[in-house]
Amino acid sequence: MENKKKDFSEWYNEIIDISQLSDKRYPIKGMNVWLPYGWKAMKNIDSVVRANVDIKEFQEVSFPVLITRDMLMVEFEHIKGFENELYWVTKGGKEKLDIEMALRPTSEAAMYPMFSLWVRTHADLPLKIYQIVNVYRYETKHTRSFIRIREIHFFEAHTAHRDHKESEEQMAEYMEIWKKISSALCLPFHVDRRPEWDKFPGAVYSLAFDTALPSGRSLQIGTIHQYDDNFARNYDIKYSDESGQAVYAYQTTFGLSERLLAAIIGIHGDDTGLVFPPDVAPFQVVVIPIPSDNREQEGFVSSVCTVLTDHGFRVKLDNRDAYTPGYKFNDWEMRGVPLRIEIGGREVGEKSVTVAKRTSRGRQKIEFKELVPGISRLLHEVREEITARAAKQFLELSRRDKSVEDMRSYEGISLSGWCGNRECSDTIEKETEKVVLGINISSPGDAKCIVCGKPGKIASFSRTY
């Protein structure tokens, strides 16, 4: 396998192939096939997301994939932002359609006409919904698995509130939800406030969660947007307040995608292969029997699997005859399973198992009667180790740069003073190929603009995916 540090891009493509996460040989560029192992991982990520929004009383919905041209044209900024990326449906059978329809690139234009029917009085608010669906964007740039694709596995939450104050509270709640999700996925990130020209089309402001892959380039892995009443005015989402007056609702959104999986692959993986955080690993534990003459082995292996499965662990028993234990060890290490259990004749005799962690060398013994707390503890340790390793790597991939020259000599995310003017960030981009990700909210501070010297704030700059 490719060396991860030396050629990250090659390593990334290769590990997705050999670990069988997805197959990019489907005959449409940017539309890949999810293979069972990759789809399991994605569904586990979705479960983490669902659990964290459900607890905040979001309701899951499922909207149609088609949006008419008329529905789209309602919000000009919004349609303008997406016009180069839309797929159009123009025919039904042999007939040309009277009204052309687009495949949703995101669902504002699908949902908000319905919001205007659903929202009647202040008692209908807040309205908090989400869906996990595919959206379609005609990418013209070079496509890359889970990072830049044309059929996107998308989580989108949409809310409506009484006023700005309540929609700001929603933005704060998103941050709280995101911290839980990113912590389960062991992902480090900066929060950057996108500049005016790079915010979501139609939003008042957009906050992005940016992480860094080992190439030094940043990867946007989530966004939250404050719309205020911009969309409500266009889609006529009004409610009658306590005094009976019709008032426009205030709205927000939160978006995530399979880029979360891309970040897990890129950040946690190593030269041996993938490393899955226990919360989302397709299998948390793989059980590998070591051939022996012990007649009780099969029964003991089966009890170990049953006890763990009954306690909610995701367990894979690898009893393939055609492969040696050594081959299986390597295979599951490459596929990033957090824990490996080995059971040979000796373990059967001692009523114990031998366990190895994906994140460190060495093995340890766990008594059968201690199996459940023992495996829980080790999974917890793996999560801590992955988190610490990712945090250390992220520190190395971002630094304070006080001049354009410094910035140019550094591959990672540069944190530098910026006045907020586009001319200055354009100059930086020309000189360093790094674009401004926005004012850095995670490490706020005042600093003189490194181009014009005027007062400014610390902003993030990097090459991006």
Interface with Zn ion by CB under 5 A: which residues?
419, 424, 449, 451-452
Q: Which is nearer to Zn ion, 30 or 195 (CB)?
A: 195
Least Å distance, CB 400 to Zn ion, is 17
Q: Which is nearer to Zn ion, 193 or 233 (CB)?
A: 193
The helices-and-strands tally (H runs, E runs) of the chain is: 14, 24
CA gap 224, 226 in Å, rounded: 7
How many other β-carbons are positioned within 10 Å of the β-carbon of residue 396? 11
Q: Are 69 and 102 in contact (CB under 8 A)?
A: yes
Q: Which is nearer to Zn ion, 159 or 416 (CB)?
A: 416
Strand, coil or helix: 289: strand
Least Å distance, CB 208 to Zn ion, is 21
Least Å distance, CB 450 to Zn ion, is 8
Q: Quickly list H helices, 27-163.
A: 36-54, 69-73, 76-82, 108-118
Least Å distance, CB 421 to Zn ion, is 5
Backbone angles phi, psi at 352, to 5 degrees: -145, 175
Least Å distance, CB 440 to Zn ion, is 16
Helix axes 371-396, 297-310, angle to 10 degrees: 60
Least Å distance, CB 452 to Zn ion, is 3
- CB-side neighbour CA atoms (13 Å) of 92: 7
Least Å distance, CB 456 to Zn ion, is 6
Q: Are 251 and 164 in contact (CB under 8 A)?
A: no
Q: Which is nearer to Zn ion, 57 or 446 (CB)?
A: 446
Beta strands in 176-313 (DSSP E): 190-193, 205-212, 218-228, 238-240, 246-248, 250-257, 285-289
Q: Which is nearer to Zn ion, 404 or 451 (CB)?
A: 451
Helix axes 36-54, 164-184, angle to 10 degrees: 140
Q: Which is nearer to Zn ion, 152 or 419 (CB)?
A: 419
Q: Which is nearer to Zn ion, 447 or 452 (CB)?
A: 452
